[in-house]
Amino acid sequence: MKRNEKIFVLTCMAAGLLGVHASAMHIMEGYLPKGWAAFWIVVCLPFVAIGFRRISKYVQQNPKNLTLLALCGAFAFVLSALKIPSVTGSCSHPTGVGLGAILFGPTTTAVLGLIVLLFQALLLAHGGLTTLGANVFSMAIVGPICSWIVYHGLKKIGCPKAGAVFCAAFAGDLLTYITTSIELGLAYPGASLAGAILKFMGIFAVTQVPLAIAEGLLTVVVFNVLEKYSNRELTQLDVL
């Protein structure tokens, strides 16, 4: 029932968006100077390498973790394909990586985000191979680190789980796009670096606020189900 409802709602949302002109919310292919493109790729490498090692550790620890990991990946796949209209009159999409960050931590999520971004860069001309490093850094590293810190911080001070999950996903989503703005500002400082960053933030971050709220709500929906039905695994992962 739950599942049917969810798929129904997602289908409706997807159907509503078909008429919308589709394009990338990540940094577009070729739009970062070579130096910066290489820099961000190098920055991401250690995170992704540690992420692969942690995934095999998690799976050894409990094979059921693989199922949860696949769920987190699938969640990111769905959410990053949903381009949602926003209050600025343009569209953007959530990242969907908050759930993975809360369950498995930021490095593991870096791998999930990499898979999503590769799919979009290769098949959809959305994002790009040369900008993969910068996009992985903002969406799959900075966002998840933020979500992870927010969730565990709020959990420690006794915030209700659903509230902590919402805040974590919301903050991670927003910070992803703030990071994208900083990356673009650094690459195109123009007259002043701060001015450039603010200009890009004006495009990405404001559009992103309602979507970050939507992402927070959707993450809570899945988390509610997991908390009830996968309680043992979540406890073992130190999430509950």
User: Segment 149-178, which members bind another protein (CB under 8 A)?
Assistant: none
Of 49 and 125, nearer to another protein (C-beta) is 125
By C-beta, is 49 or 225 nearer to another protein?
A: 225
Cβ 54 to another protein, closest distance in Å? 20
Query: Is the CB of 45 or the CB of 125 nearer to another protein?
Result: 125
Contact segment (CB under 8 A) with another protein among 43-51, 102-110, 145-153, 199-207 equals: 199-207
Pick the closer one to another protein by CB: 107 or 208: 208
Q: Which long-range contacts (CB under 8 A, 24 or more apart) does 37-46 make?
A: 37/130, 37/131, 37/133, 37/134, 38/133, 39/133, 40/131, 40/133, 40/134, 40/136, 40/137, 40/183, 41/132, 41/133, 42/133, 43/133, 43/137, 44/110, 44/114, 44/133, 44/136, 44/137, 44/140, 44/141
Q: Which is nearer to another protein, 42 or 125 (CB)?
A: 125
Site residues (CB under 8 A) for another protein, limited to 13-32: 13-14, 16, 18, 20-31
**Binding residues for another protein, how many (CB under 8 A)?**
87
Helix (H, G, I), strand (E, B) or coil at 63: coil
Which residues, at least 6 apart from 97, have a Cβ–Cβ distance to it below 8 Å? Answer: 76, 109, 112, 113, 116, 139, 140, 143, 144, 147, 172, 176
- Give the nearer residue to another protein in terms of CB position, either 52 or 119: 119
Q: Which of 43, 59, 71, 118 binds another protein (CB under 8 A)?
A: 71
Q: Which of residues 211-240 bind another protein (CB under 8 A)?
A: 211, 213-214, 217-218, 220-222, 224-226, 228-230
Question: Is 154 within 8 Å of 168 (Cβ atoms)?
Answer: yes
Interface segment toward another protein; rule CB under 8 A; list 43-51, 81-89, 101-109, 145-153:
81-89
Site string for another protein, 116-135 (x = CB under 8 A): ---xxxxxxx--xxx-----
Q: Is 59 in the site for another protein (CB under 8 A)?
A: no
From candidates 50, 188, 236, 240, binder to another protein by CB under 8 A: 188
**What amino acid is encoded at 37 in this protein?**
A
Instruction: Report the C-alpha gap between 237 and 78 in whole angstroms.
Output: 24
Rounded to 5°, the CA angle 220-223-229 comes to 145
* Residue 32 contacts residue 187 (beta carbons within 8 Å): yes
User: Segment near another protein (CB under 8 A), from 7-15, 43-51, 134-142, 145-153?
Assistant: 7-15
